[in-house]
């Protein structure tokens, strides 16, 4: 398969970079308890808050691992 050239490569990189940044911001907000689960999913309880923090860490770690692997593959 042919590799994209010129503008397409830049746009693909910008889309990838934007996805990485958004994932890191959302994960960080969950870790800092700025973003929480809705009350009907248990977000109003202590257990729900800890679950949101755990999900935030999972998002941050998997995003960083995925970004490093993508950069090493290039």
On whether residue 34 sits in a domain, the answer given is: yes
pLDDT by residue, tens only, the chain of 74 residues? 556 677 888 899 999 999 999 999 999 999 999 999 999 988 889 999 999 999 999 999 999 999 999 999 87
Cα dist. 41→25, 34, 37, 46, 54 in Å? 22, 16, 6, 12, 15
Report yes or no on 7 lying in a domain. Answer: no
Containing domain of residue 66, as a range?
A: 20-73
In a domain, 11, yes or no: no
Is residue 9 domain-resident?
A: no
- Specify the residue for token string 């490093």: 68
**In-domain check, residue 57:** yes
15 assigned to some structural domain: no
Nearest-angstrom CA–CA distance, 28 and 37: 14
Q: Determine the Cα–Cα distance for residues 33 and 49; give it in Å rounded to an integer.
A: 7
Tell me whether residue 68 is in a domain: yes
What domain count does the chain have? Answer: 1
Q: d(Cα 49, Cα 55) in Å, to the nearest integer?
A: 10
Residue 5 has a pLDDT of 75
User: Could you tell me if residue 4 is inside a domain?
Assistant: no
């Amino acid at each position: 398969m042919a590799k994209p050239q010129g503008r397409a490569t830049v746009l693909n990189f910008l889309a990838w970079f934007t996805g990485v940044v958004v994932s890191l911001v959302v994960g960080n907000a969950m870790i800092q308890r700025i973003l929480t689960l809705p009350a009907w999913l248990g977000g109003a309880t202590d257990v729900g808050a800890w679950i949101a923090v755990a999900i935030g860490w999972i998002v941050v770690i998997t995003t960083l691992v995925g970004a490093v692997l993508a950069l090493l593959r290039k």
